[in-house]
Amino acid sequence: MTPLEIVDDAFWLKFAKDRVSNAIASRDEAAGKIDAFLNIAWSIYTLAFVLGTAFNVFDISMNIRVIMALPIIILPISRYLCVSVQLPVDTNFATNVIEKIKEGYINILNKKKNRLLAAKLGAILSVLSIVLAVFLFKTSIGVNEKAKAYFIKAAYNKRYDLIHIQGQIAKLTTFRLSVAGQDTTGKNWSYQELSSFISDPLGRIDTVISSKGAHQNYRLYLSWTDDKKQLYIIKN
């Protein structure tokens, strides 16, 4: 027959101690899992960033490059917060007074709880910083690739009185044209078309302007606003 356990202060003290110990262990375990995740994320992201920077893969501005570097700093800080959860908590209490022992355990548990909360917030901030960095990188690459896809070309017609212009810019974009060159006597001249033009729904340009008698060394300027002003110069 199993002997009956006496329910006294010692019983409840042991019961509370076991509950607190389990709560502390569960927080340490949670912090360890977060730390392991952050370690993998930091290793992969840092390696990708370092290699991308070393081989000049990132065709982006310095401001975006700085923002992309932030996770490399934030992730180790978040990992430190995870480690702090698993470290022993410094606390002093009288080990021969039941109330003081209870207060000591509660104090330890609360400190662990606050440290774990800080670690979770750090992990969330780390993930958000990576998401922001990837988003800005993708956005910047998209803008750069779009800019590289733009082009313009020009050629005289058979009578040299018109310049045929074709090209590709942003769709349904208003743009201006101006021409500078020399006439048959070598005299310099320039003029700007008073009316503006607009690209078609696919961003294509196909129009003509007067050559104003320019037969050599002309330059065609096409400008429009798309985030920032773009300028293209075409030489004959």
pLDDT tens, residue by residue, 49-81: 888 877 766 666 778 888 889 999 999 999 999
Q: Full-prediction pTM beyond 0.95?
A: no
- pLDDT reported for residue 228: 55
Name the band, by pLDDT with cuts 50, 70 and 90, for residue 117.
very high
Hey, which bits of 39-158 come out as E strands? 151-156
Which of 152 and 236 is assigned the larger pLDDT? 152
Locate the DSSP E strands across the chain: 151-156, 162-168, 174-182, 188-192, 197-198, 204-210, 216-226, 228-235
Q: What pLDDT does 80 receive?
A: 93
Q: State how far the alpha carbon of 233 is from the alpha carbons of 136, 145, 177, 223, in Å.
A: 30, 19, 10, 9
Greatest Cα pair distance, the chain, in angstroms, is 123
CA distance 208 to 212: 12
* Main-chain phi, psi angles of 225, to 5 degrees: -110, 120
Q: Which residue has the higher pLDDT, 99 or 236?
A: 99
User: By percentage, how much of the chain surpasses pLDDT 70?
Assistant: 72
Query: pLDDT tens for residues 170-210?
Result: 788 888 888 877 766 777 777 777 788 888 888 888 988 87
